[in-house]
A and B are shown apart, each in its own frame.
Chain A
Amino acid sequence: MSVSPVDPATLAEAEAEAETRTGGDRPGTAGRFVGRSPGQLARARLRRDRTGLVSGGMLVFFVLVALAVPLIEWAYGIGPREQFQSRLDGFGMPLGYAGGVTGEHWFGLEPGLGRDIFIRLVHGLRTSLFIAVAAAVITAAIGVVLGTVAGYLGGWLDAVVNWVTDLTLAMPFLIIALALIPTLALRFYGQRDEVPAGFQIGVLIAIFALFGWTSTARLVRGQVIALREREFVDAARASGAGLGHMLFRQLLPNLWAPILVSFSLAVPAYITSEAALSFIGVGLTDATPSFGRMIYRSLDYLQTDPAYVFFPGITIFALVFAFNLFGDALRDALDPKSSR
């Protein structure tokens, strides 16, 4: 193949275009011929979005705090189960202003038991984030696998996946969670035994995973069906590509956008669900610090010690809000045509 019917004018034009593009957009950066991938473009759009930037910054902060819990505990010098009865008055209410906020106890103390709210909040943040992220990862994985396979292969497999999806959606989440969680605990640990925190967390993640995969599966299936009709898929098939190449090389790179968006919107949903389950008493117990338990306990003191409900309330609100805003910003950046 030595003969090359190159049109010099086309070449020259393409080069001129390359110059105007790189020159026009961001002068001087990246080599002359380094293109910008769709991912890079999305990142650039995200950087221009102020809401996305602020909410993203907040998320990074929350995640860093959750990761640094042992470090914080060491620096703060107080454990989540330490009780400071000496700082409570005769009625079990914390001494001082705003629920006992001092230089030593930044967010004050719990009425009754006298535990430090700040360190419990930090621990609760870690528990909640861990449960939510783990559940979101598992649901995304299940959803992506089932959605891709069902969408790409179609036929009876698609019918089965669809049927199971419909079945799962028809099951009432709250009722099953209420029934299942205590039953499981009873089955494995009996009436008397202390149920370990790891078991409770595991059960919560499993329950979320059981119910949460349907939306991702449906989303991915729809995307795959749309992609399947695109000619680049045919081009790969015409070259003899196997199933693995089709799914992982051709389809998956085009699915990252919806997967990321649904992931970033699933996490806050799980955070609130976990809080709700812990609140009604089927999630975590008091031994494991969590948002739901803290808010549940604080409700008794809404009148007498409003600061107690304020800190966990504002944190969970900020966390969920930041996640939702970031998810929206991510969607705008990844798929600029969807909005506006």
Chain B
Amino acid sequence: MSVVEPLLRVRGLTKHFPVRTGFRSAGLVRAVDGLDFEVRPGETLGLVGESGCGKTTTGRMLVRLLEPTAGTIEFAGRDITHARRRALRPLRQDLQIIFQDPYASLNPRHTVGRIVAMPLQVNGIDPPGGVKQRVRELLELVGLNPEHYNRYPHEFSGGQRQRIGIARALALRPKLIVADEPVSALDVSIQAQVVNLLRDLQRDLGLAFVFIAHDLAVVRHFCQRVAVMYLGRIVEIGDRDDIYRSPRHPYTRALLSAIPDVGTLGPAGRIRLTGEVPTPLDPPSGCRFRTRCPKAREVCAREEPALVVHDGGRQATACHFPETGPLTLSRADAVGPGGAAVVGVADAAPPGDGADRVDGNAGEVAR
């Protein structure tokens, strides 16, 4: 794909959780079932899907909070799939995680300074200028008052707590951060603050991200590449623009068209999926999406489609009958996130990109 050596290379990553009823094994939850993907240095990969698709399990395996059942994780050229804690230690510094819940992810009995300094302390690192100085720098970096060093988490709002979690993840100067739904627990206005902060950090520090989210709109604003997951598998992976403009997997299309958009008033002509995600305890044979797929045929139940680049597309899609052409979301009257930006001409706005551009100097606000 590229001459740049990937920072993270995942091959056939699998996690099965045994289910026990009493003493007998009642089967396996196939949470993640054979993932292949790569992340290059400084790249942001979005891992999207609905609940139960295995995206969180994947993230936890990447930072080795969960032991993979099969497959390999290679980080910076080294196989870390089953590395022990001590062997992992030098790599820990390059690989960090940000959590979803800003309340559960900070130890309520520790001061902010102690929380942010924890990775340094655990790894026995004494940065030049001292731990305290480093923590102050980090707090400032994420937009918090460095004087809040001695305060406790309960004195901060959700957005500020999430910034503390980000500062902690940055303490060891990582190369890759796994962000597990980092903004989904926050209010809309705060969500935008944190997304902008992560974007700035990613740009300024050259960080690579695996960004796990269920919100495709947020992922679109943050990620360069996107992988769509369904029932423990990647169904489509590719560059952001390809995935959002001309998704080829029927699931990606349905997912995109199901998102209610502020720009579209009233019920839109959507692709409606029937039913819900089947249980990963007993996934459907062949293509896992076939039970909800409007295009499913007999072959779909028999053969599992491979994740390959099909004719006329650039992204890899796991489907026997990939869709072609751009996805047209009903948006005759769409307005951009500027909201009032196109007052008066809204209905005349062409469905192209121009009508709803957000002004480029938006970054000012965050600086």
Interface membership of chain A positions 15-55, coded 1 if the CB is closer than 8 angstroms to chain B and 0 otherwise: 10010010000000000111111110000000000000000
B183 to chain A, nearest CB (A): 15
B104 near A232 with CB under 8 A, answer: yes
B193 to chain A, nearest CB (A): 7
What's the Cα separation between A250 and B118 when bound, in Å? 10
What's the Cα separation between A152 and B108 when bound, in Å? 18
A1 near B137 with CB under 8 A, answer: yes
In the complex, the chain B residue whose C-beta lies closest to that of A32 is B147
Q: A3 contacts the other chain (Cβ, under 8 Å)?
A: yes
A37 near B111 with CB under 8 A, answer: yes
A236 near B122 with CB under 8 A, answer: yes
Question: CB within 8 A of B151: which of A5, A33, A231?
Answer: A33
In the complex, the chain B residue whose C-beta lies closest to that of A240 is B92
B201 near A36 with CB under 8 A, answer: no
Q: List B residues 224-254 near A (Cβ within 8 Å).
A: none
What's the Cα separation between A239 and B163 when bound, in Å? 17
Question: CB within 8 A of A37: which of B115, B123, B152?
Answer: B152
Q: A337 contacts the other chain (Cβ, under 8 Å)?
A: no
B207 to chain A, nearest CB (A): 11
Known: A1-B205, A37-B152. A240 touches B137 (CB 8 A): no
Known: A35-B155, A38-B154. A254 touches B122 (CB 8 A): no
**Count of B interface residues, CB-CB < 8 Å:** 56
In the complex, the chain A residue whose C-beta lies closest to that of B90 is A240
Q: A235 contacts the other chain (Cβ, under 8 Å)?
A: yes
The segment out of B37-45, B69-77, B95-103, B343-351 that lies at the interface is B95-103
B148 near A1 with CB under 8 A, answer: no
Q: B31 contacts the other chain (Cβ, under 8 Å)?
A: no
In the complex, the chain A residue whose C-beta lies closest to that of B97 is A238
Residues of B within 8 Å of A15, CB to CB, are: 145
Residues of A within 8 Å of B362, CB to CB, are: none
Residues of B within 8 Å of A32, CB to CB, are: 147
Number of A-B contacts (CB under 8 A): 127
Known: A7-B143, A11-B145, A236-B122. A254 touches B109 (CB 8 A): yes
A238 near B150 with CB under 8 A, answer: no
Q: A303 contacts the other chain (Cβ, under 8 Å)?
A: no
Residues of A within 8 Å of B367, CB to CB, are: 5-7
In the complex, the chain B residue whose C-beta lies closest to that of A41 is B154
Q: Is the interface of B mostly helix, strand, loop or mixed?
A: helix
Q: B179 contacts the other chain (Cβ, under 8 Å)?
A: no
Q: B106 contacts the other chain (Cβ, under 8 Å)?
A: yes
Interface membership of chain A positions 228-250, coded 1 if the CB is closer than 8 angstroms to chain B and 0 otherwise: 00111011111111100100011
B104 near A238 with CB under 8 A, answer: no
Interface membership of chain B positions 187-215, coded 1 if the CB is closer than 8 angstroms to chain A and 0 otherwise: 00000010011001100110000000000
Interface membership of chain B positions 80-98, coded 1 if the CB is closer than 8 angstroms to chain A and 0 otherwise: 0000010011001000110
B122 near A36 with CB under 8 A, answer: no
Residues of B within 8 Å of A37, CB to CB, are: 109, 111, 152
A5 near B105 with CB under 8 A, answer: no
What's the Cα separation between A60 and B88 when bound, in Å? 51
Task: Other than A242-B122, A253-B107, give 11 A-B pairs with Cβ distance below 8 A.
Answer: A3-B204, A7-B197, A7-B366, A10-B160, A35-B150, A38-B154, A232-B105, A234-B60, A238-B96, A240-B89, A253-B109
Residue numbers of B with Cβ under 8 A of A are: 60, 63-65, 85, 88-89, 92, 96-97, 99-101, 104-112, 115, 118-119, 122-123, 137, 140-141, 143-145, 147-152, 154-155, 160, 165, 168, 172-173, 193, 196-197, 200-201, 204-205, 365-367
Report 10 cross-chain contacts, Cβ distance below 8 Å, ordered by A residue. A3-B204, A5-B204, A7-B143, A7-B193, A7-B366, A10-B143, A10-B193, A38-B154, A231-B100, A231-B105
